[in-house]
Structure 1
Amino acid sequence: MFRRAAFRQLPCQPYLAGASRTSRRTLISRRAARDSPGRVHEQLNLDQLSRQSYDYHRKRQIFLICGTVAGTVSFIYTAWKLKKELDKRPTLLDSSLPSTDPLSRSDAIARKVVVHDEEGREVVPTGNSTVKEFPRTIQLPSYASSSGPSHPAPLDPAATVVDQTTSSSLDDYTLAGLGLRTVSFLGIQVYVVGFYIATADIAALQSALVKKVNPIATTLVPGEREQLRAALLDPATSEEIWRELLDKGIPARSAFRVVPVRDTDFHHLRDGFVRAIQARSPPASGGDDGFGEAMRAFRALFNRGSVPKRKELLLIRDGQGRLSVVYDDGRGAKEGRPEGRQLLGTIEDERISRALWLNYLAGTKVASEPARKNIVEGMMEFVERPVGTVAAQVV
């Protein structure tokens, strides 16, 4: 048995030995093949690959950020330039003109849109959702008497009611321009203000403005109008022009119509007016007893309560510079009066009305820049026509 078992195992030994030698030769040959200088092989460095990937993505991210910043800056700059160009034009444009109309040319002065309300009256849209429109013309009596001291109204509003039907005559006033007043960097809307000029006095204002540019002209050509527009928008020149005009009583009669777009009160409006008067008054007025008394009388006019939105406050200046403050509380119709305007009082000192007018028309900082620009465009409408034709057209 032992021999038979040994015999059966013998044939296997050469095979296993040969297999082992074959395997050994195969591994050795593969290793030799790998180590041979003629075979191409790669040595991967994971740290280097990681750094390269990080650098690539970092540069890509920086490039994208730079592109985003550049695009945003270019967008803001383009929007700013576009706004500047739009601000040079009136806020209210007449888009109803046909393309064949000469006034529809790009170099023509754009006009305010004049529409009719439900009662057929001519109105001018304001662009505000609360106070949507202003009347193109208003009628006002002569509130300030030709003589007499300034008379601030008593605290009882009923004692100051003026019935316009008993007035000797009513004068037509034409809207020259309007705009929205905002306060603080948040742009909080306060009121819409419009500048009205007595229609009969527009011719004198036309003539004075035309003579400023061309002493022998009766109307201004486009180049001269641009020169006048630049002067009326310049802080220093505009104040010089309007001070000279007001000194001469031009326009003789004018008014600012103030309509709040939110509920406010007389004290809030008074504080804004007082700051404007103090900023525009001559330095010597501070020690003038007459000016101080006029300021106290002006403050007394506003010792009242609330002013709801959409109610009308009028600041009226006559040919002598007297200031009349008129308020319409909307109760006239309920009390049987055709108009609800109440005379709160009159200030005789011309410096008060002059300072208020300059606060809207001239200087570095005005109460409403949109209103000032729109008023200047109204002046351009006046001087592009022959002197005296505007009043005839309105009447």
Structure 2
Amino acid sequence: MSWIQPRLVRNIVQSCRSFSASASSRLASRSSALTKTALSHRRSYTSSALFWGSAFAAAAGLALQSTVHLDAEAAPPPAEEETRVDPATSIEFPTTLKINSRTPLPTFTLMGVGVRTVSFLGIKVYSVGFYADLTNPKLEDATPEEKIEYIVRNRACVLRIVPTRSTSYSHLRDGFMRALQARQLLCRQRGQLTPDEELAIQSPLRKLKSMFPNTPLAKHSPLDILITAPSPKQPRTLIVRDLGSVQSDWLASEFVLAYFEGKGISPPLKEAVVDYVKTHL
């Protein structure tokens, strides 16, 4: 039995060594297999994530494009404003004029346009459009000149002046003041202006003159001059856009009537307004 024990021990040791080697090999093989499986799953997950991420991005992009496209289709096109062109200057005037104001103002209708020229060379200074509130004018059995005067004396009116070249407020002011001085003389000769009335209008005239700054007025920049309708509560107001206002019945009416006296400050404007009155009123 003594020989059996050493042999048995040797066999046990060899078996343990063999099992240990095969176990290490199996463990290494199993570990490699597990690693490959994990990598495979990881690659599959990564590919899947990339695919859905790309799909989501594409879907989002398509949705965004669709939304923009629909918004663009749903947006209404801007309304095209109807205009009238001064043939002498190619300057456009809207056929109707709505002026924002704290107190409601009527919609003004364009009655005519024309060019203002100076000197024998015929230099074009500005184009002017005449607008008026034509609501129920009641102008039957009157000449075109009488109808124009009635509108100016009884309705809110606007003169829109658009320089054809860069000028200055003071240059326009000087022209306005000369025209008003001529109106004073004419009204005095016609007996339409008493000495007391002439004295009373000097303060409004000075205020009007002082409103115009000695600064440039850019080419094609519109300058609106509005006169309010007569009111039993207060004198008419002449308003120069962005510059100020002055109250005087005489000044408001005569400022605008100067454009229609005789040939007018702008003969083409008067001709156009007379034609409009003949056709529409």
- Structure 1-normalised TM-score? 0.45
What is the rounded CA distance, in whole Å, between the counterparts of 1:372 and 1:243 in structure 2?
12
Instruction: Please state if 1:254 is matched with 2:169.
Output: no
1:105-144 superposed Cα distances (whole Å, 9 cap, x missing partner): xxxxxxxxxxxxx951111121245x531111111144xx
1:242-281 superposed Cα distances (whole Å, 9 cap, x missing partner): 555544x2xx211110000011101110011001111112
Instruction: Please state if 1:271 is matched with 2:271.
Output: no
8 Å contact from structure 1 (residues 141, 171) kept in 2: no
1:168-201 superposed Cα distances (whole Å, 9 cap, x missing partner): 5453211010101111111000000000112xx3
- Between 1:351-360 and 1:263-272, the stretch displaced more is 351-360
8 Å contact from structure 1 (residues 285, 291) kept in 2: no
8 Å contact from structure 1 (residues 286, 292) kept in 2: no
Q: Which amino acid aligns with 1:266?
A: Y
Q: Which amino acid aligns with 1:195?
A: F
What is the rounded CA distance, in whole Å, between the counterparts of 2:212 and 2:170 in structure 1?
6
In structure 2, the CA distance between the partners of 1:132 and 1:246, relative to structure 1 (3 Å rule), is: closer
What is the rounded CA distance, in whole Å, between the counterparts of 1:267 and 1:366 in structure 2?
21
- Structure 2-normalised TM-score? 0.62
What is the rounded CA distance, in whole Å, between the counterparts of 1:273 and 1:379 in structure 2?
25
Counterpart of 1:289 (choices 194, 199, 202) is 199
Structure 2 residues without counterparts, runs of 5 or longer: 1-77, 231-235
Query: What residue in structure 1 maps to residue 228 of structure 2?
Result: 318
What is the rounded CA distance, in whole Å, between the counterparts of 1:313 and 1:123 in structure 2?
17
Structure 1 residues without counterparts, runs of 5 or longer: 1-117, 143-166, 213-227, 233-237, 327-341, 384-395
What is the rounded CA distance, in whole Å, between the counterparts of 2:103 and 2:151 in structure 1?
28
Counterpart of 1:211 (choices 122, 127, 141) is 141
Query: What residue in structure 1 maps to residue 108 of structure 2?
Result: 173
What is the rounded CA distance, in whole Å, between the counterparts of 1:373 and 1:322 in structure 2?
27
Query: What residue in structure 1 maps to residue 24 of structure 2?
Result: none
What is the rounded CA distance, in whole Å, between the counterparts of 2:194 and 2:103 in structure 1?
36
Identity %: 29
Counterpart of 1:182 (choices 110, 117, 127) is 117
Question: SS in structure 1 opposite 2:219?
Answer: coil
Counterpart of 2:245 (choices 346, 350, 371) is 346
What is the rounded CA distance, in whole Å, between the counterparts of 1:353 and 1:168 in structure 2?
18
In structure 2, the CA distance between the partners of 1:246 and 1:310, relative to structure 1 (3 Å rule), is: closer
Query: What residue in structure 1 maps to residue 92 of structure 2?
Result: 133
8 Å contact from structure 2 (residues 162, 221) kept in 1: yes
Written as runs of structure 1 = structure 2, the 5 A alignment for 1:374-389 is 374-383=272-281
8 Å contact from structure 2 (residues 167, 216) kept in 1: yes
Written as runs of structure 1 = structure 2, the 5 A alignment for 1:291-310 is 291-310=201-220
In structure 2, the CA distance between the partners of 1:285 and 1:347, relative to structure 1 (3 Å rule), is: farther
In structure 2, the CA distance between the partners of 1:311 and 1:286, relative to structure 1 (3 Å rule), is: farther
8 Å contact from structure 2 (residues 88, 114) kept in 1: no
What is the rounded CA distance, in whole Å, between the counterparts of 2:122 and 2:103 in structure 1?
43
Counterpart of 1:360 (choices 254, 259, 263) is 259
8 Å contact from structure 1 (residues 190, 260) kept in 2: yes
8 Å contact from structure 2 (residues 112, 276) kept in 1: yes
Counterpart of 1:202 (choices 124, 135, 147) is 135
8 Å contact from structure 2 (residues 258, 265) kept in 1: yes
1:87-112 superposed Cα distances (whole Å, 9 cap, x missing partner): xxxxxxxxxxxxxxxxxxxxxxxxxx
Give the paired residue count: 192
Q: Which amino acid aligns with 2:112?
A: G
Quick one: higher RCO (CA 8 Å, sep 6+), 1 or 2? 1
8 Å contact from structure 1 (residues 323, 346) kept in 2: yes
8 Å contact from structure 2 (residues 130, 159) kept in 1: yes
8 Å contact from structure 2 (residues 263, 270) kept in 1: no
Written as runs of structure 1 = structure 2, the 5 A alignment for 1:26-105 is none
